[in-house]
Amino acid sequence: MSFMTPMIVVATGNKGKLAEIQATAQGAGLDYTFRAIFDLLPDWTSPVEDGDSFEANAMIKARAGFEALGLPTLADDSGLAVDALDGAPGVYSSSFGGVEGDDARNNARLLDELAAVPEGQRSARFLSTLVLVGLDNLLPDAPHTITATGACEGSIGFEAAGEAGFGYDPLFIPATTPDRTMAQLSMQEKNAMSHRGQALQNLMDTLHQL
């Protein structure tokens, strides 16, 4: 790269997501600085995410951040798809419990919805889509929009376990760690297997090639 430490804005107020992005970029050896949009624009209002897919919602946020600052902006939309609930909560994962971003309510409703579902029929997966808009402002040969996706297969436990992570992490048991929930994994372990970790790694691989 011919420039020093280019900045990519992250259109999120979730410190957990920002930490995962920063850790993955550092592990990939990429010379980018990632800053939360609220650190640069404290009064920024996140747009309404009314898309019908994770990619559509991530695109809405990334475009809004880019238009507000004129800087490359990264956004993600991710959620949980439970087979016994026909793919729900899906794009409504963050408001499943009735209050946007209330992890406790979301987890409580999920357990309630699955109360009669036995072990062996509680399969689920985390899905993530990342959208980066405006990198061509820094790298003229870069695409204006870059998309990356990731998935993590697993199942839903019967009770919360673990203090790390956020969202549905205390209930989600990855297929690769059947004795631990996502919230019982270290950041390094989680990034290596999580849906967002996979999407981030795919994004970093793309950035390496630019």
Question: Is pLDDT at 3 greater than 50 in this prediction?
Answer: no
List active site positions: 77
| Structure confidence by residue, pLDDT tens digits, 80-116 | 999 999 999 999 999 999 998 899 999 999 999 999 9
Over the range 13-31, which residues count as b (16 or more CB within 10 Å of their CB) and which as e?
Answer: eeeebbebbebbbeeeebe
Q: What is the pLDDT of residue 2?
A: 40
The pTM assigned to this predicted structure is 0.84
Residue 67, pLDDT above cutoff 90: yes
Is 178 in contact with 161 (CB distance < 8 Å)?
A: no
- DSSP line for 130-141: EEEE-GGGT-TT
Residue 63 CA, distance from chain mean position? 17
Least confident of 3-12, 144-153, 169-178: 3-12
Confidence of residue 13 (pLDDT cuts 50, 70, 90): confident
* Spatial separation of the C-alpha atoms in residues 139 and 155, rounded to whole Å: 41
